[in-house]
A and B are shown apart, each in its own frame.
Chain A
Amino acid sequence: MRNLIFLFVRHGGFVTFIFLEILCMYLVVNNNQAQREIYFNSVASVSDALTDRYDNVAQYIQLSTVADSLARENARLLAEADNARFIKAIFRDSIREPEKGQLFVFQSAKIISNSINRSNNSITIDRGRNHGIKPSMGVIGADQKGVVGIIKRCTGNYSRLIPLLHRQTKISAAIQRNGYFGSIVWRGNDSRTVSMIDVPKHAQLEIGDTVQTSGYSTIFPPGIMLGTIDTFWRQPGSNFYEINVGLSMNFSSVKYVYVVENMHQEELNQLESAESDE
């Protein structure tokens, strides 16, 4: 203790200086927008570089684990493809199309940048036009169950997507138990919750009901998990419920995704545009 006091008396100026500069930098980063952004960008680029290096090493060491998970992934993908084929079968029967075919195909991709804490977030994946990705394809989770978003822009090797956590998002969804459908939107405040709107007031809801994609859009196959009902209420006088859905997908840790391609997208588009021409 005496030594400590002695040290302070001799180098008090330096100790005070270091302490106060740290305090000042803390104040600067916490209270000034420009400096704050520079600080977090710098931290992010350093930590990105570190993570990247760690990933490389870890991937090499964990090859056997990766192989295992790939096998599991394949099995799940097969089930997924069956699901897609089932819808196709009904289609085919009704229009008597002779050959068998796939309606939805899946392509794996890796997320290379992701944000969750803004009011309009964005995600970048490492697949682009060269791999057959086109705007308005759907993206679903691979290592986690759930909808991730919709492709917005593509370059040769990369694509940018509008994630579920974006105010422009509107995805057709249905309640698994009874099939009532509505739209999923995001209010911009919580990365673990989305809102489901346009569900009519005579629908019978229960907390914990599963919400999944409805299949009424050409983007996602039906039955992709979205989340479960947390709370629901109705504004007095409104005919529709407002439902809070807790997401099954954890957007802060999702890493691998599948891009969903609807093989009949163009055909369906033509049908719709023909209708609007009339």
Chain B
Amino acid sequence: MSNVIVANIFRFLGLVILQVLVLRSINLGGADFNYISIIIYPLFLILLPLRTPHSLLVLLGFVLGFFVDVFYDTYGVHASASVFTAFIRPYILAIYEPKGGYNINYSPTKHRFGINWFLIYAATLLFLHLFFYFSVDAFTFYYIGDIFLRTIFSFLVSIILVVIYQFVFDPKE
């Protein structure tokens, strides 16, 4: 029990630090192609234990997003996307529920459910997170084409990082 909490606290800190100190300053597209942002911190929400209560999940989403916002200096933008991602996670999990159902003592990791399942699940959440984030960032659907482009390019780069993370650390919890 306490193992899970400690692991998640460390993951929270690690991902936020990685996001704001390293990934924030990487601009893969260069000045002419400002469409790629590497966003990995939602992985914290993706990997929270299955039995996490829904309201706690949403609250943690807010805390996570707010921390990232403080360093990006975009108060509310990342937080709103994280809150959204945390909110829809149970519904996404319900869609991809395996035949035997979930063991609620597990966390939704590659280690427990296999790479195929994890990839589909994480990709769905990450994509929706990015889409929500870039929508709030633009704050208007007038540039819907731009929003989609940013979402897709950022998604392709970020999901690779998420998978690498799974193989490097291979977390149980």
Contacts and interface: CB of A to CB of B under 8 A. Distances in A.
A13 B77 contact: no
A28 to B, nearest CB: 4
Interface string B67-87: 001000011110110011011
Given A17-B87, A32-B75, A38-B139, A24 B55 contact: no
B53 A12 contact: yes
Given A17-B83, A24-B80, A34-B139, A12 B55 contact: yes
Nearest to B140: A38
Contacts of A35: 77, 136, 139
Identify the interface centre among A12, A17, A24, A27: most chain B CB within 10 Å of its CB. A24
A31 interface: yes
A200 to B, nearest CB: 50
B142 to A, nearest CB: 9
B62 interface: yes
Identify the interface centre among B57, B77, B84: most chain A CB within 10 Å of its CB. B77
Contacts, number: 74
**Majority SS of interface residues in chain B?**
helix
A39 interface: yes
Contact of B87 (A13, A32, A34): A13
A29 B136 CA distance: 10
Interface residues of A, number: 24
A38 B58 CA distance: 27
The 7 tightest CB contacts between A and B, nearest first, are A13-B54, A27-B76, A24-B80, A28-B76, A12-B55, A31-B75, A17-B87
15 contacts: A12-B54, A13-B53, A13-B58, A17-B83, A20-B79, A21-B84, A24-B83, A26-B76, A27-B69, A28-B136, A30-B75, A32-B75, A32-B76, A39-B139, A42-B140
Interface of B: 53-55, 57-59, 61-62, 65, 69, 74-77, 79-80, 83-84, 86-87, 90, 136, 139-140
Interface of A: 8, 12-17, 20-21, 23-32, 34-35, 38-39, 42
